[in-house]
Amino acid sequence: MAKNSYSINDTNSPKSVLEGLYRAIVANGNATRKKDLDSIFDIAVDNKAFPNINIPGNKNERTYIEKWVSGYDNAMDNLPSSRIASAKSACSDPAIKLLVQATRGSSDEEALSEESFHNLYMSAENIQGNLLEEYISLNTRKYGFLWCNGNVLRAIDFCNTDGSLLLQVKNKNNTENSSSSNIREGTDIIKWYRLGSCKVNGQVLPKFHWDELNEIINSHKTEGFDLEPCNMNEEDYEAFLRKVATNNPNIITDK
């Protein structure tokens, strides 16, 4: 654990004290957002699900909750769909470009173009997991599902308002690291991933798992009982991505 990493999961303060600190901090916040965060806070306390947060200097319940609330607010103020991509922080390895260029017989100009396209795909892959959560949030809030945006619940991306369903979302079945898996062990956190694979006539093809997620939402909803059942699907998700990219082409970069 990092030196400045801190959580209030193991605090000896009673729930009433933590709630008092929290209420004072969010008193002047966004009313709609506050209602959602109120529920998330209660779930975090009841499940000891507060994440570790980097807090240099004085570590106590108040400073933790202040940073916890600001993390959520900042995340909700800067949705993935509105972000501007930054150039990657590390330089490209020229030996990789040389190897690809030599095997393909590419010119210098073609190699540079191929490298730019590679950077675009990597940039898209880096943001897609966040966009997936945003899409799910847009389609499930009406059923009482809260987006735990900004790292407010440990290893949990969504929960319903009464805390009876804790959900971890992944884009692919191979994108979970071992530490994330270990955190989920021994908990009630359900894992869902969008993209798997199947073989058809010896060819590996994508297999999407939206039906499983829809079933999870429809069987654990706490609001929207008079609405049509949740029906997220790949076609609608791709339409969402197309709209995001059209409105914000700078969401990915080739740099």
What pLDDT, in 10s, does the model give residues 222-246? Answer: 999 999 999 999 999 999 999 999 9
Is 232 among the domain residues? yes
- Does 129 share its domain with 62? no
Q: Which residues have C-beta within 8 Å of that of residue 58, sequence separation ≥ 6?
A: none
| Residue 70 and residue 132 in one domain | no
The verdict on 52 and 118 lying in the same domain is no
19 in a structural domain = yes
Q: State whether 120 and 23 are in the same domain.
A: no
Q: Closest Cα to residue 43, out of 208, 255, 189?
A: 189
Q: SS in 3 state form for 197-216?
A: EEEECCEEEEEECHHHHHHH
Please give the pLDDT value at position 175. 54
For every residue of 212-247, DSSP letters joined together read: HHHHHHHHH-SS-TTSPPP---HHHHHHHHHHHHHH
Q: Does residue 83 sit within a domain? A: no
Helix/strand/coil (H, E, C) string of 3-67?
Answer: CCEECCCCCCCCHHHHHHHHHHHHCCCCHHHHHHHHHHHHHHHHHCCCCCEECCCCCCHHHHHHH
CA atoms within 13 A on the CB side of 108: 0
Structure tokens that stand for 219 in this block: 């069987």
Q: Is residue 82 part of a domain?
A: no
Band the pLDDT of 171: cuts 50, 70, 90: very high
Which of these three, 54, 77, 100, is where a domain ends? 77
Residue of 252, 16, 4 lying closest to 131 (CA atoms): 252
Q: Provide the residue type at 40 as one letter.
A: I
Residue where the block lists tokens 């956190």 = 189
Whether 149 maps to a domain, the answer reads: yes
Confidence check: pLDDT of 41 > 60: yes
Mean pLDDT of the chain: 91
Claim to verify: residue 254 and residue 192 sit in the same structural domain:
yes
List the domain range (segments joined by +) for residue 114.
89-255
Instruction: Please state the domain count of the chain.
Output: 2
Indicate if 180 and 132 belong to the same structural domain: yes
Shared domain check, 98 and 71? no
Percent of the chain with pLDDT over 90: 73
* Bridge partners (DSSP) listed for residue 195: 172, 208
Q: Are 47 and 186 in contact (CB under 8 A)?
A: no
Residues 45 and 117 reside in one and the same domain? no
Supply the pLDDT for residue 177. 47
Same domain, 128 and 220: yes
- The set of long-range contacts for 189-195, using a CB threshold of 8 Å and a minimum separation of 24, is 189/155, 189/156, 190/165, 190/166, 190/216, 191/167, 192/167, 192/168, 192/216, 193/169, 194/132, 194/169, 194/170, 194/237, 195/171
Looking at residue 218, its pLDDT comes to: 98
Name the domain boundary from 23, 45, 77: 77
